[in-house]
């Protein structure tokens, strides 16, 4: 980029206290001496933290707002992007923390190298109770991945939890509003970026994921995501597939979906006991997801 970059930080929120995140961002952005703005949009109708978050409007170039007309994560993010006025868009999820004191500078160092940059996800210490243990275990095993590994299949490994994109690139794709429920909006955006010739660059600049769903809630969200995945697979909408999607198609070719469906019917409660217990197994979780997907 020949001109000085400018950045709009867009924080997608749902009833989460974002004061620490936003004040840290504001300090780093101010130190960077570039034009910036922070927009935080809360999609929760009865936000329990509205009054506290609303104080962020006292910061310069910062807007905290409740947006109830845009249902779901995709619509909320698209709306913030429409409001944004700068050249680069940095999308962050609200339930996160910044551990890198040069988080913003690390992103800005990439503006001449790529038009889509994904920073990654990290997880803190193991939860003391088992309520968030399944989500933490899954995150450590499947989401806390080095940039080197993510760059091997860059667009398939795309995550909207923490990424920066050039505004003109985003306007060519945007988040699909096809899905209101949780799951696979990242998959579609990563694929759409590739179709338009944008290859995601992954770097080691993670946000720490704080918002660990309780086990039952995470299983419910996972089932929602599988319903979205089934819709994508039925419509032949995926160019490159995850391991789960590839396995699902493979057992379909061999006529084994009824076997997976029957296994889910027989073992799902036993699998859930494992997943909600003290030592959740990712192999069990994979079997659970394949069985549920085959049952749809």
Domain architecture of the chain: domains with CATH: 7-213 (3.90.550.10), 217-295 (no CATH)
Query: The pTM is what?
Result: 0.94
pLDDT of residue 1: 47
Ranges of beta strands (E only) in 24-131 are 36-42, 62-66, 88-93, 96-98, 116-118, 121-122
Query: Which DSSP category does 175 fall into?
Result: -
pLDDT of residue 188: 87
pLDDT of residue 68: 76
pLDDT of residue 254: 97
Spatial separation of the C-alpha atoms in residues 154 and 118, rounded to whole Å: 9
Contacts of 192 (CB under 8 A, 6+ apart): 173, 176
Tokens (6 digits) for 286: 């994979």
Q: Is 160 helix (H, G, I), strand (E, B) or coil?
A: coil
Best CA proximity match to 218, nearest among 145, 96, 296, 133: 133
How far lies 90's CA from each of 30, 124, 163, in Å? 15, 23, 6
Contacts of 220 (CB under 8 A, 6+ apart): none
Best CA proximity match to 280, nearest among 201, 230, 219, 233: 219
- Mean pLDDT, consecutive 10-residue stretches, the chain (296 aa), reads 84 95 98 97 87 96 87 87 97 97 98 97 94 97 96 92 97 84 84 94 98 96 94 84 90 97 98 97 98 97
H helix intervals, the chain: 19-32, 50-54, 72-83, 103-108, 133-138, 147-150, 167-173, 185-195, 215-234, 243-253, 257-275, 282-295
């Amino acid at each position: 980029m020949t001109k000085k970059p400018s950045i709009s930080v867009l924080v997608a929120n749902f009833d989460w206290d974002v004061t620490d995140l936003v004040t840290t961002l504001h300090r780093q952005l101010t130190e960077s001496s570039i034009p910036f703005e922070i927009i935080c949009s809360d999609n929760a109708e009865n936000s329990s933290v509205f009054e506290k978050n609303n104080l962020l409007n006292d910061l310069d170039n910062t807007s905290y707002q409740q947006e109830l007309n845009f249902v779901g994560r995709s619509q909320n993010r698209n709306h913030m992007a429409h409001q944004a006025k700068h050249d680069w868009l940095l999308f962050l999820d609200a339930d996160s923390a910044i551990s890198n004191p040069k988080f913003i500078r690390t992103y800005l160092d990439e503006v001449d190298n790529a038009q889509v940059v994904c920073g990654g996800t990290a997880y803190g210490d193991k939860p003391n109770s088992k309520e968030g243990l399944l989500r933490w275990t899954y995150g450590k095993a499947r989401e806390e991945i080095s940039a080197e590994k993510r760059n091997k299949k860059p667009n398939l490994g795309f995550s909207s939890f923490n990424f920066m994109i050039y505004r003109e690139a985003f306007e060519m794709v945007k988040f699909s509003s096809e899905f209101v429920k949780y799951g696979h909006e990242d998959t579609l955006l990563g694929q759409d970026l590739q179709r338009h010739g944008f290859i995601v660059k992954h770097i080691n600049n993670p946000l720490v994921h704080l918002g660990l769903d309780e086990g039952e809630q995470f299983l419910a969200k996972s089932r929602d995501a599988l319903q979205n995945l089934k819709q994508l697979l039925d419509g032949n909408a995926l160019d490159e597939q995850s391991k789960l999607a590839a396995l699902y198609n493979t057992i379909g070719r061999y006529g084994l979906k009824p076997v997976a469906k029957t296994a889910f019917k027989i073992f799902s409660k036993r699998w859930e006991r494992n997943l909600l217990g003290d030592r959740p197994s990712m192999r069990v979780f994979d079997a659970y997801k394949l069985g549920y997907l085959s049952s749809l």
